[in-house]
């Protein structure tokens, strides 16, 4: 794990800002090096953040049973209820004491943090489709700046500015302002910056401002996941000053920071990228990046051989890069399905899925971030994406009329990979296996125009609750069933918080779905009242999850304590516990002015991966599934019908 801490670079950078005030350092220099100059240091609030609470065992059991109720027939539910009550009054108490003792000995972090890292790193499934999500940037509204060379250069410069700002503690901390007029201003920033961290948090709290955990942010840069047998490693390289670039399956590296950690001129980055794009080398016949698509134990074994075959230096160069760039020759245009297919998996020949994140830029300038998930969650990646998109768009350093040199760049190092016959055979086999998996993935989307947040607000219902309700109705229309559904919720309000699960399939959504899909529908006022009840319950679940009061992570931790201490218990042996964790519908919402779309693969073979957004006057959902197990177009059709019916009810007088 890598957690944010003060560094010599931070002290150096704040000293530079003081020199600017005295006119001893150029403002232009500082403006180029830093994307922000926050008065409050980035990690200022960290020591004052509250710790993630361990919920009461009784409440967790009640919430767990409430989530199981709509999924089970009466007989199964009665059995599960008996097991849960026995657990609550017996071994559950013992595990709760052990968990609290574990938590008490690790007050520097949260009770879920180490266990969650361990969960991800022990997973043996391949990273693409199973783990790595994508965030797709909006195009620049100035078409000429979407040129692949121009856009990549500007995005790299903005990424480096973000990196330097983060490392220098000049990035504005994440703060949720409940009353922005009261706290999102210079006076608040000045006072908070002068107070000691714990008092600063209290001051923010009393001003209805809630600082969020920033500990995951450093893992964005200089970090990679190394495959090992049984459990991978996360490795950071704090002295790194270079980036790696993939093009036609080949790897290149060049330095982007000077000895004193200054960002090199944008024109030099442009020249280096132009040199790579003009390299006349043929596409790699045996692209080593495809190996990162393999099952983790298999990849660990092959990587060991790869290093022993004269590639240790090359691998270290890739691993230690600040971040990774993939330059593609494909042109997905503005088709969400093509975009998702290219950036979520592609053909694997021009990818390195192990890196903390890769910035992928297509031939037509369409850009996405594909990120490895073990090191952190979407909060840090989304902030990075938003800041870099805004900065590269509003303050581009390279323009269509920027001149490049015609001479070959001597600062670019192509990483030639040495392969024996066995390694070549492994690559060939990985290509075949990966293609079969990707060919089986289907991507579909729907955009529902004319209705959205505005309609929900007028009817005093939560837009997110309505979207989730649509998923329940649609799935039931298609299959006649109710299944475990997952919605991610961040617990970044707490020190080293990760995520909590919201379970949107409730007894209320089930009742409404059955009513709406029945032949004898209740009256419209009655159906509208049922929607409002669904919304009320959904809002409560969101609040509980955000405040660390969900049941999923608590039960996960109790189960881990039992396994560590050899304590057997009935609740986790109950098939219904595994059943509720089998997320047939895995969902995540994404609303950002920087983002065109987001996507991820299904988390189970017969499931759907669903990224969605609801705007003021339209809503949209992008759905992934495996063709051999489920029918994506039919599900999209059922979703459209569901939203038509739900919004017809909301809009009725």
Cα 428 from Cα 291, distance rounded (Å): 10
Catalytic residue, chosen from 44, 286, 324, 373, is: 373
Output the CA–CA distances (angstroms, integers) from residue 109 to 52, 112, 231, 495, in the order listed: 8, 8, 21, 6
Instruction: Report the candidate in 321, 117, 287, 300 with the shortest Cα–Cα distance to residue 226.
Output: 300
Task: Give, in degrees to the nearest 5, the angle at Cα 581 between 575 and 585.
Answer: 125
The answer to whether the beta carbons of residues 183 and 172 sit under 8 Å apart is: no
Task: Work out the angle between the directed axes of helices 632-651 and 463-479 (0-180°, nearest 10).
Answer: 130
Backbone angles phi, psi at 652, to 5 degrees: -70, 145
Q: Which residues sit opposite 449 in a β-bridge?
A: 618
Output the CA–CA distances (angstroms, integers) from residue 72 to 66, 362, 565, in the order listed: 11, 46, 31
Task: Work out the angle between the directed axes of helices 8-21 and 148-167 (0-180°, nearest 10).
Answer: 100
Residue 373 among the catalytic residues? yes
Backbone angles phi, psi at 218, to 5 degrees: -60, -25
DSSP string of 85-96, one letter each residue: HHHHHTHHHHHH
Task: Give, in degrees to the nearest 5, the angle at Cα 270 between 264 and 274.
Answer: 140
Residue with tokens 């759905």: 623
Cα 56 from Cα 516, distance rounded (Å): 36
The answer to whether the beta carbons of residues 112 and 557 sit under 8 Å apart is: yes
Residues 6+ apart with CB under 8 A from 2: 218, 219, 223, 234, 236, 375
Could you give the 3-state DSSP secondary structure of residue 369?
Answer: strand
Cα 565 from Cα 87, distance rounded (Å): 16
Range 518-555 burial, b when 16+ CB lie within 10 A, else e:
eeeeeeeeebbebbbbbbebbeebbebbbbbbbbbbbb
- β-strands 608-614, 585-589 pairing: parallel
Which secondary-structure segment (H or E) carries 446? strand 441-449
Cα 448 from Cα 434, distance rounded (Å): 33
**Six-digit token pair at 80?**
């599960």
**Six-digit token pair at 625?**
């599934």
Catalytic residue numbers read 373
């Amino acid at each position: 794990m890598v957690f944010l801490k003060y560094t010599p670079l931070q002290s150096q950078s704040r000293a530079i800002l003081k020199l600017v005030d005295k006119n001893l350092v150029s403002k232009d220099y500082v403006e180029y090096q830093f994307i922000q100059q926050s008065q409050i240091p980035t990690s200022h609030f960290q020591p004052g953040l509250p710790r993630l609470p361990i919920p009461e065992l009784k409440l967790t059991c009640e919430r767990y049973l409430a989530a199981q109720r709509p999924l089970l027939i009466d007989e199964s539910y009665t059995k599960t209820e008996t097991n849960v009550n026995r657990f609550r009054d017996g071994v559950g108490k013992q595990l709760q004491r052990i968990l609290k003792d574990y938590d008490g000995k690790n007050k520097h972090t949260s009770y879920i943090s180490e266990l969650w890292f361990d969960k991800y790193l022990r997973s043996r499934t391949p990273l693409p489709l199973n783990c790595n999500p994508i965030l797709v940037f909006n195009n620049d509204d100035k078409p000429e700046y979407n040129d692949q060379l121009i856009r990549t250069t500007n995005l790299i410069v903005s990424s480096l500015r973000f990196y330097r700002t983060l490392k220098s503690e000049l990035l504005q901390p994440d703060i949720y302002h409940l009353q922005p007029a009261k706290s999102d201003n210079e006076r608040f920033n000045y006072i908070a910056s002068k107070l000691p961290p714990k008092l600063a948090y209290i001051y923010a709290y009393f001003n209805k401002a809630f600082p969020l955990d920033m500990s995951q942010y450093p893992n964005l840069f200089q970090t990679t996941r190394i495959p090992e047998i049984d459990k991978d490693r996360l490795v950071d390289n704090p002295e790194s000053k270079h980036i790696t670039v993939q093009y036609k399956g080949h790897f290149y590296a060049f330095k982007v920071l000077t000895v004193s950690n200054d960002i090199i001129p944008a024109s030099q980055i442009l020249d280096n990228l132009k040199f790579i794009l003009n390299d006349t080398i043929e596409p790699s016949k045996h692209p080593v990046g495809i190996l990162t698509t393999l099952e983790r134990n298999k990849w660990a074994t092959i990587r060991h051989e790869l290093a022993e075959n004269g590639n240790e230096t090359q691998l270290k160069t890739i691993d230690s890069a600040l971040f990774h760039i993939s330059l593609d020759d494909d042109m997905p245009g503005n088709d969400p399905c093509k975009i998702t297919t290219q950036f979520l998996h592609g053909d694997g020949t021009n990818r390195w899925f192990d890196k903390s994140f890769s910035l992928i830029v297509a031939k037509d300038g369409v850009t996405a971030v594909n990120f490895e998930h073990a090191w952190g969650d979407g909060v840090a990646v989304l902030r990075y994406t938003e800041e870099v998109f805004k900065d590269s768009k509003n303050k581009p350093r390279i323009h269509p009329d920027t001149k490049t040199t015609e001479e070959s760049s001597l600062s670019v190092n192509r990483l030639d990979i040495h392969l024996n016959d066995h390694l070549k055979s492994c690559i060939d086999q990985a290509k075949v296996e990966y293609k079969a998996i990707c060919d089986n993935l289907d991507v579909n989307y729907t955009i529902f125009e004319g209705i959205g947040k505005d309609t929900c607000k007028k009817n005093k219902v939560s837009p997110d609750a309505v979207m989730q309700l649509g998923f329940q109705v649609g799935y039931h229309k298609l299959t006649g069933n109710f299944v475990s559904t997952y919605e991610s919720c961040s617990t970044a309000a707490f020190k080293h918080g990760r995520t909590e699960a919201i379970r949107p399939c409730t007894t209320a959504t089930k009742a409404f779905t059955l009513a709406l899909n029945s032949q004898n529908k209740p009256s419209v006022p009655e159906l509208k009242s049922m929607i409002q009840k669904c919304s009320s319950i959904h809002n409560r679940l969101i609040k509980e999850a955000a405040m660390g009061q969900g049941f999923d992570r608590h039960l996960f931790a109790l189960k881990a304590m039992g396994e560590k201490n050899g304590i057997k218990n009935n609740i986790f042996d109950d098939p219904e516990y595994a059943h509720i964790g089998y997320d047939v519908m895995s969902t995540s919402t994404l609303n950002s002015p920087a983002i065109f779309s987001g996507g991820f693969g299904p988390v189970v073979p017969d499931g759907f991966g669903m990224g969605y957004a609801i705007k003021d006057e339209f809503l949209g959902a992008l759905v992934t599934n495996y063709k051999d197990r489920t029918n994506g177009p039919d599900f999209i059709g059922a979703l459209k019908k569901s939203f038509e019916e739900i919004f017809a009810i909301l809009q009725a007088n």
